[in-house]
Amino acid sequence: MASFQTLPGFREFYPDAFAQRAHIFRLWRQAAHAHGFAEYDAPVLEPLDLYRAKSGDEIEAQLFNFVDKGGREVALRPEMTPTVCRLVGEKANALKRPIKWFSIAEFYRYERMQKGRGRCFTQFNADIFAEPGIEAETELISLLVQCMTGFGLSAEDFTVRLSDRNLWFFFLEAIGMDDARARVILGAVDRYEKIGDDAFKDYVSQFGPLDPAVKSQVLAFQSIRSLQALEQMLAPLGGEKLMARVEEWRRLLANLEAMGIGEFVSVDLGVVRGLAYYTGFVFEAFDRKGELRALAGGGRYDNLVGKLGYAELPAVGFAIGDMTFALLLEQRGLTPPLVQAPDVYVVIGGPKERLSALGDIRALRAAGYRVDFSLRDLAFGKQFKAAAESGARLALIYGSDELAKGVVKIRNLTERSEREVAKAGLLEDVRSYFGG
Ligand code: HAM
């Protein structure tokens, strides 16, 4: 075996795997277009500073970064959000609002390897800029749901857990946490589901022992799973700001119900998101069985465009990763079928007949049909075998008899019937067969 192996965490796509992933991208793209999003792309390599202190410590520690030959500190992009903020920030005044954009692109994070996590993966990102209201969240959650249901996944397969960093900060302030403490507590809540009490170690090492009363309030808040429970928890804290926020919650949930996608969304204050820039509603999609890591994540980040040095612009968005998503489809038996078969397989008698066939092959391909044929002169038997194996519906036969008569023989490979058509009318005939 040769000694050049794929780097750990990087993937190769042989044609079958590629076709399956391409099908996923096709349906995601369709869902984005159906929601009125426009596609963009941007560089894979970015200035390191774009991520420093913007994405959060976890992503910063996972960067693939180096110094380029011009002495610049650069990094392979670990996520799209800072980049898309730059694109929008640069041209904010020239862009038609609201700005609804999506992309399908590859990202790089030096992660510990586990099921559904790699060091190079693809995300579908969708973001809305310049819309401060919950209509933007509604639109994005609708798109996220369609990206899943388009494949046949139902509310029994996945759920979108909806939470709120804004409320979390209100709550932590109300129970006496300053901003620095609140941020470390949110980090702990983010990890609590995975590692339990160890999640609070960072807090203890920075600020000393955590008051048990505070801890139990934090744990009670993170276990909220309904709007009613949320209202009950917040009622004693009172305050106009809090009540206005609860009203936003009601409106968002009413919107989602009205869209008919309420069943896909669950109130869940246990989600806080690891990335540093979120400011409001946040959400993550998970498989219902809880066997896989997050399928998608996102939320509102109203300060990031401003933090990059541009005029402030409200923003909300999410990303779905392709790896966990493909695993979920596989588990549910919903992996897309491979449609790689040609429409037509051309069987050629010899060198003279090949010259007669080549022009027709080109004309059929130009008309949009998938056409395949043997690149070498082979015995008829071998070519018919290849035609049958290819999955093509029609075989076109160019033998010496046909050439002499100016006809092409068409064999219907599913019905096993045969007939001859005038070579001049071949395209029309094939078209009528495929109903084009
Ligand atoms: P994120 O939660 O870091 O959010 O990633 C979103 C999704 O990308 C995850 O739910 C997961 O499916 C996939 N993903 C992340 N890391 C890996 C990995 N190492 N291997 C495989 N899949 C992975 C963001 O990236 C935000 N920028 C999303 C966003 C867009 N927020 C606003 N707009």
pLDDT of residue 52: 87
pLDDT of residue 57: 77
Whether pLDDT at 15 is above 80: yes
Q: Residue 79's closest CA among 256, 273, 331?
A: 273
pLDDT of residue 60: 87
Whether pLDDT at 240 is above 90: no
pLDDT of residue 3: 76
In one letter, which amino acid is 59?
A: I
**Separation between Cα atoms, residue 325 and residue 82, nearest integer Å:** 24
pLDDT of residue 87: 98
Determine which residue's CA is closest to atom 17 belonging to ligand 1. Answer: 117
Query: Could you read off the pLDDT of 195-205 as tens digits, one per residue?
Result: 999 999 999 99
Cα of 113 vs centre of ligand 1, distance in Å, is 15
Instruction: For 384, list phi and psi in degrees, rounded to 5.
Output: -65, -35
**Separation between Cα atoms, residue 160 and residue 175, nearest integer Å:** 28
Tell me which of 59 and 219 has the higher pLDDT.
219
pLDDT of residue 436: 64
Residues with CB under 6 A from ligand 1: 79-81, 109, 111, 117-118, 121, 123, 125, 127, 275, 294-298, 317-319, 321, 323-324
Q: Residue 412's closest CA among 396, 423, 400?
A: 396
Q: Measured from the CA of 320, which atom of ligand 1 is nearest?
A: 7
**Separation between Cα atoms, residue 189 and residue 222, nearest integer Å:** 7
Whether pLDDT at 236 is above 90: no
pLDDT of residue 86: 97
Q: What is the mean pLDDT of the chain?
A: 95
171 contacts 296 by C-beta, under 8 angstroms: no
Preceding peptide of 98 cis, ω within 30°: yes
DSSP 211: P
Is 0.85 surpassed by the pTM of this model? yes
Q: For residue 402, what are the contacts with CB-CB under 8 A and spacing of at least 6?
A: 353, 408, 409, 420
Q: Residue 220's closest CA among 237, 238, 206?
A: 237
Cα of 5 vs centre of ligand 1, distance in Å, is 26
pLDDT of residue 435: 83
Cα of 80 vs centre of ligand 1, distance in Å, is 9
Cα of 107 vs centre of ligand 1, distance in Å, is 9
pLDDT of residue 82: 96
**Separation between Cα atoms, residue 105 and residue 165, nearest integer Å:** 27
Instruction: For the chain, list the domains and their CATH numbers.
Output: 15-331 (3.30.930.10), 344-433 (3.40.50.800)
Best residue among 11, 76, 121, 159 to mutate for probing ligand 1's pocket (most ligand atoms within 8 Å of CB) is 121
Cα of 317 vs centre of ligand 1, distance in Å, is 11
Query: Could you read off the pLDDT of 41-97 as tens digits, one per residue?
Result: 999 999 999 998 777 778 889 999 999 999 999 999 999 999 999 999 999 999 999
Distances (CA, A) of 151 to 23, 74, 157, 293, 335: 10, 37, 11, 19, 8
Cα of 52 vs centre of ligand 1, distance in Å, is 17
Determine which residue's CA is closest to atom 21 belonging to ligand 1. Answer: 117
Determine which residue's CA is closest to atom 30 belonging to ligand 1. Answer: 318
294 contacts 180 by C-beta, under 8 angstroms: no
**Separation between Cα atoms, residue 45 and residue 205, nearest integer Å:** 36
Whether pLDDT at 398 is above 80: yes
Query: Could you read off the pLDDT of 145-200 as tens digits, one per residue?
Result: 999 999 999 999 999 999 999 999 999 998 999 999 999 999 999 999 889 999 99
Q: For residue 193, what are the contacts with CB-CB under 8 A and spacing of at least 6?
A: 270
Both tokens of 285, joined, read 């999609």
pLDDT band for 1, please (50, 70, 90 cuts): low
128 contacts 317 by C-beta, under 8 angstroms: yes
pLDDT of residue 152: 96
**Separation between Cα atoms, residue 146 and residue 140, nearest integer Å:** 10
What are the b/e assignments for 379-400, b being 16+ CB within 10 Å? eeeebbebbeebebbbbbbbbe
